[in-house]
Amino acid sequence: MLEQKPEILITGATGNVGLETLKALNSAGVMPLAAVRDPQKARAKLEGKALLTRFDFTDPRTYTGTLTGVKQMLLVRPPEIARVDRYFRPFLEEAKAAGVQQVVFLSLLGAESNPVVPHHKIEKVLLELDIPYVFLRASFFMQNLSTTHLEDIRDRDDVFVPAGNGKTSFIDARDIGAVASKALLEGHQNVAYDLSGDEALTYGKVAQILSEELGRPIGYSHPGILKFALEERTRGVSWPFIGVMVGIYSVAALGRAGRVTPTIRELLKRPATTLRQFIHDHKVLWMPLKTANQETTHED
């Protein structure tokens, strides 16, 4: 039976890293408090894994109730919220006043030297408020291939990103969650962890691994930035999010996303999860819908 520990708060508990952190805590016998916008909707995914509380970064009325009794927190920035001084600073000020003693913040690899990204500003706020911190400066998530770019791979057999021939040191969110859980349970403080996988790959290599694991040819069309942006817009993606993606892939194209760090090996005492293993574990996600449905029917 899981030990209930509402003094550990997980924000973004239904997202990639939040959910993997939750699973890692559960594996250690701990049931934390999960801050979610809609507890009723989240219950199906988190029932029995976490205690639920309603929370919204854009609604200060939810801050006090969420933070009462909390001593440690995983802070995950919702992708759509970038106004740090409007939302994150007031929340973190209230967290400090409530007695939070550790904030494990999901940051970005290189955030310390990139003042444009919100992660840099949130790190700065935590330092200014003198709240004990752990910065998880993570590289590009493998999970983006199974979420943001899922339809391109599944339906079009194409990795459609403007990353040129630059390399990226992909990381599995499961590894980030394991580090976050360790930091929370062991009380790490005032340290920044640069997190990446053990290898840096071009998107051409990513397409090759996808082809080998899925058993069908997957291409990498490496579109230009303008073509990528216009195509994403025709698919209904917002201009702000397109801007974020263009920024990320431009960094990769320039060869600045390939830094490999040893932190996963050092903290978890094992190799980082490889992209091939990640794809192998989740290959059903990229199966054509007709094939996936046929297999599901056959299994039933």
Per-residue pLDDT tens for 176-191? Answer: 999 999 999 999 999 9
Does residue 125 surpass a pLDDT of 90? yes
Closest by CA to 273, choosing from 200, 194, 172, 205, is 172
Match domain 3-138 to its CATH number in 1.10.10.10, 3.30.950.10, 2.60.40.1240, 3.40.50.720. 3.40.50.720
Residue 37 — very low, low, confident or very high, per pLDDT cuts 50/70/90? Answer: very high
> H-helix or E-strand containing 155?
helix 150-156
CATH 3.40.50.720 domain position(s) in the chain: 3-138
Does residue 299 surpass a pLDDT of 60? no
Average pLDDT, the chain: 94
- Tell me how many degrees the CA angle 242-248-253 measures, rounded to the nearest 5: 115
* CATH top class, domain 142-169+198-258+273-292: alpha beta
Give pTM, 2 decimals.
0.93
Does residue 7 surpass a pLDDT of 80? yes
Listing DSSP states for 39-81 in one string gives HHHHHHHHTTT-EEEE--TT-GGGHHHHHTT--EEEE---TT-
C-alpha gyration radius of the chain: 20
Cα–Cα distance measured from residue 201 to residue 139, given in angstroms and rounded to the nearest whole number: 12
CATH 3.90.25.10 domain position(s) in the chain: 142-169+198-258+273-292
What pLDDT, in 10s, does the model give residues 212-222? 999 999 999 99
